[in-house]
Amino acid sequence: AAPAPGRVPLDVQGLGPGGFRAPEVRGGLREGAGQDLAAVEEMDGKGKFDREQYDRGDKPGGGVARVLTGGNIWEKAGVNLSVVYSEMPQEALQAATERGVDRVGGTKLEPGQKVPFFACGLSSVMHPKNPFCPTMHFNYRYFETDFGTWWFGGGTDITPSYLDEDDMRHFHGTYKKVCEKYDPEWYPKFKAWADRYFLIPHRGETRGLGGIFFDDFCSEGAEKHLAFSGDCLEAVTDAYLPLIKKHKDAEFSQEQKEWQLMRRGRYVEFNLVYDRGTTFGLKMLSSGVGRLESILMSLPENARWQYNHTPAPGTPEAEIMEAFKSPREW
């Protein structure tokens, strides 16, 4: 009989505490990261990704942080691969998944009881210099607990400062094709999920123009979920780098640069207040597991907050603000 959704299938038990083949997840993410790094370095022509490998002292797990700064194209680009074997407070579990403490297999947790878990994730953010080049973010992750539950989460999203509808059709179309390979309902579901997830409630606008996002995802066999995450990761270069090639040499004014920095400010607001990965990481710091530099790697080097700024009607800035306030289909 097929395992119940969210239960670890016995035929894929291995080295993770709950059972899934941790080395396979880690290896797939590492391979995808290598391909993306090489393509970005080649296009930039100057910047190179530093490599910092870290461990967790006497605790199992660790990771590799790769950061590029001062490139021809990218102001800052980072990729972080992290593996964690530990225990998380219940509030961290709530931050890690939409269903929070329900992801413990029906176990009633006592006050203060921690949840043993394994997690492996690959995340990246790329902030270009040119205001007409969009920022791109992806994150693909796998969680399992000692209570016999597992789930995947992640997605890829785009954050332009100026609207190019052809760019958005290309980016979203690339991920629509990946989703349709597995299930025709996944793209509209995950696209709408991204529009909801990347909302900045206190602003009434989205961080960017979406993409796909999914979490607490365990409706299929674990192998299918892993293959889907791998295909999404592989699609990053096809979805994103043509947009950079198209706009990297475009001329821009100081006012357009300042608008980009204001949108970077929105990026910071979302990440520090609402982003699930950031809040989870910060809640784990008290357990000696979180790594601050990796948690905050997604933030841009420069951002701007201009008091009470509203774009003038009819301007390109006002045009994209409408898209931030009312997500559309591309």
Residues with catalytic annotation?
137
- What single DSSP character describes residue 100? G
Token pair for residue 173? Answer: 């179309």
Who contacts 253 (Cβ-Cβ below 8 Å, separation ≥6)?
none
Q: Using CB atoms within 10 A of its CB, is residue 44 exposed (0-12), middle (13-18) or buried (19+)?
A: buried
Q: Using CB atoms within 10 A of its CB, is residue 149 exposed (0-12), middle (13-18) or buried (19+)?
A: buried
Ramachandran class of 213: left when φ > 0, alpha when ψ lies in -120 to 50, beta otherwise? beta
Helix (H, G, I), strand (E, B) or coil at 296: coil
Tally the C-alpha atoms within 13 A of residue 312's C-alpha that lie toward its C-beta.
2
Who contacts 198 (Cβ-Cβ below 8 Å, separation ≥6)?
157, 206, 207, 208, 210, 213, 270
- What single DSSP character describes residue 209? S
State the sign of the Cα–Cα–Cα–Cα dihedral 64, 266, 162, 205: positive
Residue 277: closest CA among 160, 155, 176, 178: 155
> What type of residue sits at position 268?
V
Q: Using CB atoms within 10 A of its CB, is residue 112 exposed (0-12), middle (13-18) or buried (19+)?
A: exposed
Q: How far apart are CA 317 and CA 311, in angstroms?
A: 6
Helix axis angle for 236-247 and 165-180, nearest 10°, is 170
State the sign of the Cα–Cα–Cα–Cα dihedral 250, 253, 257, 259: negative
